Amino acid sequence: MVRPFLILVVSLTAFLTSPTPAVGEPPDGTGCSLPEVTGLSLQEAQHRLHDQSRGIHIRLDPVDVPGTPPPFAISVSGNCDQATLKHGARLPNLAERTLQQATEELEGLNLAFSVPPGAGLDWTVVRQEPGAEKIVPYGTSVGLEVRAPVTSPPPVPPTPDPNTPTPPRPTSTKKPTMVAVPPLKGLSRASAKKKLAAVGLKLRLDPDSPRMGKVADQDPPKGRKIARTTPVTVWLEAPPDTPKAPSPGGGLGLAGGVALAGGAALTGLLLIRRRHARQQTPQSRLRTFAIRCVPHPDLTPRVEIHGSGSVSSPGIR
């Protein structure tokens, strides 16, 4: 009995005096374990690994790190001397976004996507796989479930009631531009028209007015305010008659010259007859004379009187 008891005591003593390994010590006996970094940003994960082991060498997977958006740690493997840190992108919530918005955001995260065939860019995302906030490696394909937009028919305008009177159209309340009538008396028709046009008015010639002359009266009178484009009626005063220029023959034409010559001839004839009456004897008889008026290109009248008998008589030319 004593011997088995002694063996038990010795075995228990040896067990209690043997060194106890540290908690979390890896089986390789190095005395270091890698911390949990999943879900941390890549920068925070690297700091935690360096805090655990100052001399650790960290290799990134993938090696290229995008600038934006910031990457997140997925997992870490290795030991406290050399560790591989795998990183990727955190998925956003794409629900209720259009397919165009969702695909543009996934492309910005270096992720792929898959959509049903025939889906339009205006369709709406209703579900995604993997879900939002999951951290996935770059290049992961995200499945998108979308639905077509609901288009409502255009509203049908109400049918107007034939018994309802049509409301009158609103009349324009804009007041016309008013201008003052300029003075026109003494101006020619062309000058008056130009002066009225300068202020936006029109000229109207009274039907009973002469066509030419100076403005003698106007309606409305000068200074009155009237709407622009309103016609202004004017009356013209005919110019006085211009005296005719005298002709080269002393102011008489061909007809006047002939008449003057005829008058002079008759006067001369009367004088000759009176003189002859004093000189004739009882046996003598009256001599007759012929008067001839010869037209000549020269406008100066020329009269010739020829006696028909032997009685001498003065010639008239």
Give the model confidence (pLDDT) of 235-276 as tens digits: 898 877 644 444 444 444 555 555 566 666 667 767 776 666
Give the model confidence (pLDDT) of 149-179 as tens digits: 887 677 777 787 777 777 777 666 677 888 9
Q: Do 289 and 267 reside in the same domain of the chain? A: yes
CATH code at position 218: 3.30.10.20
Whether residue 279 lies inside any domain: the answer is yes
Whether residue 163 lies inside any domain: the answer is no
CA atoms in the 13 A half-sphere facing the CB of 221 = 0
Last residue of a domain, one of 52, 75, 90: 90
What is the rounded CA–CA span in Å between residue 27 and residue 257? Answer: 161
What is the rounded CA–CA span in Å between residue 185 and residue 216? Answer: 5
Q: Do 210 and 233 reside in the same domain of the chain? A: yes
Domain that holds residue 62: 30-90
Work out the number of other CB atoms within 10 angstroms of the CB of residue 259. Answer: 14
Whether residue 12 lies inside any domain: the answer is no
Q: Do 86 and 37 reside in the same domain of the chain? A: yes
Whether residue 10 lies inside any domain: the answer is no
What is the rounded CA–CA span in Å between residue 236 and residue 186? Answer: 9
* 54 band by pLDDT with thresholds 50, 70 and 90: confident
What is the rounded CA–CA span in Å between residue 12 and residue 22? Answer: 21
Q: Do 228 and 276 reside in the same domain of the chain? A: no
Give the model confidence (pLDDT) of 101-142 as tens digits: 999 999 989 999 999 999 999 999 999 999 999 999 999 999
**Please, what is the average pLDDT of the chain?**
76
Whether residue 265 lies inside any domain: the answer is yes
Last residue of a domain, one of 71, 90, 109: 90
pTM of the model: 0.40
Question: 227 phi and psi, to 5 degrees?
Answer: -70, 145
Q: Do 41 and 79 reside in the same domain of the chain? A: yes
Whether residue 317 lies inside any domain: the answer is no
Provide the pLDDT for residue 140.
93
Whether residue 86 lies inside any domain: the answer is yes
Q: Do 80 and 123 reside in the same domain of the chain? A: no
Structural domain count, the chain: 4
